[in-house]
């Protein structure tokens, strides 16, 4: 058995432990180097993951799987982690003696996401989920002197524990009905859909709905996003959401096929409600972090459309949109991070006159929010095209129409940020300063967002190759 294919996971775990050890062995110097070492380590792991993208191997009797689908999400999570580290280096530097622990927790959260994407067993998914969420609990409450951060961490801990318990109970019901927790074996064991099995599927869906902030399980997101340190918010918005969908697609495409229980209409209704509520509540928001929180709820609804479609177009759209969402959302949060470091605020007023203080930052923010809105030629347009095309081909024309309509409405609040930057009065008068690492991350996000919109074929083909195991 080719255990070298597990090096991505092993090296990620070793990197997290190394960062923690550096802080203990060399308290001052180790903490200063923790960011650089973390980025270099994850960059090396990313290169290895890309080189082994097409590898296929089943480990431990189906409990863990290395395949193109899981490899796609490995690459996504590593890219997201690296970009967050680069964009927030100046912000995390303010943590002083706690920076290495923060980077270590971020790496362990990444490891949890990777395990979720490759898990072929319910228990393994749960272990990856808990590794990710426990790391996020601590990262959310990391600013001990900030009451909002502590409150956000406590809320996330309580609500996250409840949702995890609900999901675990659902998994136990599925195990009781099938006698196995291996995803590929569950479908073979299901001949009928008794009420206990349907209840188990519903509870699993409810647990995942909380993690990816699907309505009506979304109420935690705005408060946690606003109160948490902005690097945590960034990674929570892009990483945990993608990890939830990675596990959800594998579960519902393999373990619970449509022939067993027609769950697609229920998911379609949830997707529609999530898109509508996320966009409508985002309209009156005056804080950029809170605005992007409600935006992320709507984005979860868009991605869910692809799962509802259940065809090649829809699933390709899920993977494509998840990747471009990483670049667009991270780019937007990177600009918000720089503004918060300079002004101490993420209110839209803090962005007033940003085009005069820092034209480059204003341009990046505009490009990223236009991509989130799905405006061509940005990458978000291509992603939504795949998602809506999949929905239409599966007979969900009404869902695609709702998605298109709400995308048009979202332009209003996204451009509200651009209006403040280009038309608003310059109250600060000082140029927003960003470090070289943050500038690199912003450039990567900008170029990737534009390139994947103008030339979507490479990423589209990669996503198509990744979903081949489902068809």
Handedness of CA 222, 228, 233, 236 (dihedral sign): negative
Q: To which residue do tokens 């943590």 refer?
A: 95
Cβ(278)–Cβ(298) below 8 Å? yes
Average the pLDDT over each of 29-38, 83-92, 417-426, 457-466 and give the range with the smallest value: 29-38
Helix/strand/coil (H, E, C) string of 354-408?
Answer: HHHHCHHHHHHHHHHHHHHHCCCCCHHHHHHHHHHHHHHHCCCHHHHHHHHHHHH
Cβ(264)–Cβ(258) below 8 Å? yes
Q: Provide, for the chain, the percentages of residues in helix, strand and coil under a 3-state DSSP scheme, each rounded to the nearest 5.
A: 80, 0, 20
Distance CA 295, CA 225 (A): 11
Burial class (CB within 10 angstroms; exposed 0-12, middle 13-18, buried 19+) of 191: exposed
Model pLDDT, residue 46: 94
Q: To which residue do tokens 């799905």 refer?
A: 374
Distance CA 372, CA 370 (A): 5
Per-residue pLDDT band at 398 (split at 50, 70, 90): very high
The alpha carbon of residue 254 and the mean position of all alpha carbons in its chain are separated, in whole angstroms, by 22
Cβ(213)–Cβ(296) below 8 Å? yes
Model pLDDT, residue 79: 95
Q: What is the pLDDT of residues 429-464, one digit of tens each?
A: 566 677 778 889 899 999 999 999 999 999 999 999
Per-residue pLDDT band at 97 (split at 50, 70, 90): low
Model pLDDT, residue 370: 92
Task: Give the DSSP H or E segment for 77.
Answer: helix 68-87
H-type helices in 119-236, by residue range?
Answer: 122-140, 147-178, 183-189, 195-211, 220-227, 230-235
Nearest residue to 447 via CA among 316, 327, 346, 350? 327
DSSP strands (E only) in 1-110:
57-59, 64-66
Burial class (CB within 10 angstroms; exposed 0-12, middle 13-18, buried 19+) of 147: exposed
For 258, which DSSP code?
T
In the predicted model, is pLDDT for residue 10 greater than 90? yes
pTM (2 d.p.): 0.93
Residues 465, 392, 298: CA angle, nearest 5 degrees: 80
Cβ(379)–Cβ(311) below 8 Å? no
Q: What is the pLDDT of residues 325-347, one digit of tens each?
A: 999 999 988 888 888 877 777 78
Helix/strand/coil (H, E, C) string of 297-358?
Answer: HHHHHHHHHHHHHCCHHHHHHHHHHHHHHHHHHHHHHHHHHHHHHHHCCCEHHHHCCHHHHC
Handedness of CA 87, 91, 97, 103 (dihedral sign): negative
Q: Which two tokens stand for residue 132?
A: 């990710």
Q: What is the pLDDT of residues 120-174, one digit of tens each?
A: 899 999 999 999 999 999 888 887 777 888 888 888 889 889 999 999 999 999 9
Other Cβ atoms less than 10 A from the Cβ of 452: the count is 26
Q: Could you tell me the end-to-end alpha-carbon distance of the chain, in angstroms, rounded to an integer?
A: 25
Model pLDDT, residue 259: 44
Handedness of CA 60, 62, 63, 64 (dihedral sign): positive
Q: What is the pLDDT of residues 50-69, one digit of tens each?
A: 998 988 888 888 889 889 99
Beta strands 64-66; 57-59: pairing state: antiparallel
Nearest residue to 226 via CA among 284, 278, 275, 292? 292
Asked if residue 377 has a cis previous peptide bond (ω within 30° of 0), the answer is: yes
Model pLDDT, residue 426: 67
For 252, which DSSP code?
I
Nearest residue to 364 via CA among 289, 299, 443, 258? 443
Domains in the chain: boundaries: 262-471
Q: To which residue do tokens 């290895």 refer?
A: 48
Asked if residue 221 has a cis previous peptide bond (ω within 30° of 0), the answer is: no
Could you tell me which residues come within 8 angstroms of residue 77 by beta carbon, excluding any fewer than 6 positions away? 110, 113, 114, 117, 239, 242, 243
């Amino acid at each position: 058995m080719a255990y070298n294919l597990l090096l991505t996971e092993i090296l990620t775990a070793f990197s997290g432990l190394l960062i923690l050890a550096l802080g203990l062995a060399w308290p001052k110097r180790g903490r200063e180097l923790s960011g650089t070492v973390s980025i270099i380590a994850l960059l090396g792991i990313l290169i290895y993951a890309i080189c082994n993208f097409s590898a296929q191997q089943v480990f431990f009797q189906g409990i863990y799987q290395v395949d193109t689908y899981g490899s796609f999400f490995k690459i996504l999570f590593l890219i997201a982690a690296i970009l967050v580290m680069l964009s927030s280096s100046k912000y995390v530097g303010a943590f002083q003696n706690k920076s290495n622990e923060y980077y270590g927790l971020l790496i362990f959260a990444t490891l949890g996401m990777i395990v979720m994407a490759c898990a072929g067993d319910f228990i393994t998914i749960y272990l990856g989920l808990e590794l990710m969420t426990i790391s996020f609990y601590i990262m959310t409450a990391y600013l001990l002197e900030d009451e909002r951060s502590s409150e956000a961490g406590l809320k996330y801990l309580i609500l996250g524990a409840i949702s995890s318990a609900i999901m675990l109970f659902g998994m136990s019901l599925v195990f009781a009905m099938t006698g196995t927790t291996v995803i590929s074996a569950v479908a073979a064991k299901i001949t009928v859909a008794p009420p206990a099995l349907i209840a188990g599927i519903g509870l699993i869906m409810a647990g995942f709905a909380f993690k990816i902030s699907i309505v009506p399980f979304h109420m935690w997101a705005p408060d946690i996003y606003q109160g948490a340190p902005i690097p945590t918010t960034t990674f929570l918005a892009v990483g945990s959401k993608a990890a939830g969908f990675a596990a959800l697609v594998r579960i519902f495409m393999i373990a619970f096929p449509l022939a067993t229980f027609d769950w697609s209409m229920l998911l379609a209704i949830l997707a529609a409600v999530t898109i509508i509520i996320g966009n409508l509540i985002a309209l009156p928001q005056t804080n950029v972090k809170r605005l992007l929180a409600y935006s992320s709820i709507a984005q979860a609804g868009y991605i869910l459309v692809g799962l509802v479609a259940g065809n090649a177009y829809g699933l390709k759209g899920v993977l494509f949109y998840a990747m471009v969402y990483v670049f667009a959302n991270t780019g937007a949060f990177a600009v918000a991070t720089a503004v918060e470091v300079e002004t101490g605020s993420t209110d839209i007023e803090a962005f007033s006159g940003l085009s005069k203080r820092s034209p480059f930052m204003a341009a990046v923010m505009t490009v990223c929010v236009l991509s989130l809105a799905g405006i061509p030629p940005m990458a978000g347009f291509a992603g939504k095209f795949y998602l809506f095309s999949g929905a239409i081909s599966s007979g969900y024309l009404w869902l695609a129409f709702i998605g298109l309509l709400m995308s048009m409405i979202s332009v209003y609040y996204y451009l509200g940020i651009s209006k403040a930057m280009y038309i608003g009065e310059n109250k600060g008068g000082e140029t927003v300063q960003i470090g070289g690492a943050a500038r690199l991350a912003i450039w990567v996000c900008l170029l990737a967002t534009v390139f994947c919109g103008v030339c979507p074929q490479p990423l589209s083909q990669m996503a198509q190759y990744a979903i081949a195991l489902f068809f």
